[in-house]
Amino acid sequence: MARLRVLFESGAPEQIVEFDPAKAPFQHDGKPDSVLDVLLGHGVHLEHACGGNCACTTCHVIVKSGEQHLSEAEENELDLLDKAPGLTPTSRLGCQAVIEDDCEISVLIPRFTINAA
């Protein structure tokens, strides 16, 4: 079982999503097995104004731990992230950050987003 720990900068209670990667994709928004896909498939809201198509920054998350278990960021994701408020060295777009292993990852959902689409 993989585990995705979700922290909210807004102060909402932490949520833990345990899932079987073999049963993904869950929701079909974002790349299959992405942070966005897993969250939506388990009823955890993550804004995604572009439908998970890597065209905005509303699904921006900050990876607190487990970054090594995510796919590498591609150039188009990095270009968009430059526009995300609260950018950090471990920022990712939830629609593009694919969970590659049966592992534990912790992400922080920032309080503010900007729709760049």
Q: Is 11 helix (H, G, I), strand (E, B) or coil?
A: coil
Does residue 39 belong to any structural domain of this protein?
yes
Residue of 103 and 24 predicted with greater confidence:
103
Grade residue 112 by pLDDT with cuts at 50, 70 and 90.
confident
pLDDT, tens only, 45-63: 999 999 999 999 999 999 9
CATH number at residue 36: 3.10.20.30
pLDDT score for 23: 82
pLDDT score for 115: 62
Does residue 43 belong to any structural domain of this protein?
yes
Does residue 75 belong to any structural domain of this protein?
yes
pLDDT score for 117: 47
Task: Count the domains in the chain.
Answer: 1
Does residue 115 belong to any structural domain of this protein?
no
Looking up tokens 């969970």 gives 99
pLDDT, tens only, 8-58: 998 899 999 999 888 877 877 899 999 999 999 999 999 999 999 999 999
Does residue 116 belong to any structural domain of this protein?
no
Does residue 114 belong to any structural domain of this protein?
no
Kindly tell me the burial class for residue 51, based on how many C-beta atoms sit within 10 Å of its own C-beta (0-12, 13-18, 19 or more): middle
Does residue 117 belong to any structural domain of this protein?
no
Range of the domain at 82: 2-109
* 71 Cβ neighbours under 8 A, 6+ residues apart: 31, 96, 97, 98, 100
